[in-house]
Structure 1
Amino acid sequence: MHQMLRNLDGKLDSIIFCHGIINYLGGIDGNLPDWDEVQKVNVRATMQMTSIAMPFLRMTQGNATVLSSSAGEKPWPGHTIYNSAMASLNMMVRCAALENAHHQ
């Protein structure tokens, strides 16, 4: 991402996040490595990239778009790990939007 921003002379108008993995183990039947992997890919990676991009987006009054899943709003049986990650991602996006609203 840092190299991409250098190639763009630090100008970033928009960024779209569309990535993720799903784990079909329920939270009780799953294990911590599964939990950590899904959280790392679906939540932490988005947070990390957003924190890098945000200063550049502020300079251009740009925006970030994060694609998520209805799994963050509606529980699915047997998908505790994935649902939890999507709920966390959704809340992170909502909080980031509130924190950065005054920059628009």
Structure 2
Amino acid sequence: MTSFPVRRKLAVLPFVALPFGAMTACGGEGTNSSTDCGVNSCTVTFDRGVEASASILGIKAELVKVQGQMVTLKVAGQTVTVPAGDGQQADGFDVSVQSVTDDKVVVKISGGGG
């Protein structure tokens, strides 16, 4: 009957590893973006004036351009223009621009399943 404790430990292993899997679903490409992800959303901080993109939630998000407080992004291949402080839908994802400064653009992307 020594296999029972081993079976119990193996059954718990996927739940212990789950947070590590969720963390790997989110990452910036290069040094032009940084990400902070939860289970169903990511906040991406893009550097302005350079090509900036991030791989998050199984998709690619790119900063295309910023004109005043209007931010154009490409999310999962779909181009959307979002005013700062507002949100839009892009391929089943909620995209909101949290802030725009001279150096950075902070965007929150959540949802999925589009």
TM class by shorter chain equals: under 0.3
| Higher share in strand | 2
Larger Rg: 2
Q: Which has the higher relative contact order, 1 or 2, with Cα contacts under 8 A spaced 6 or more apart?
A: 1
TM superposition score normalised by structure 1: 0.23
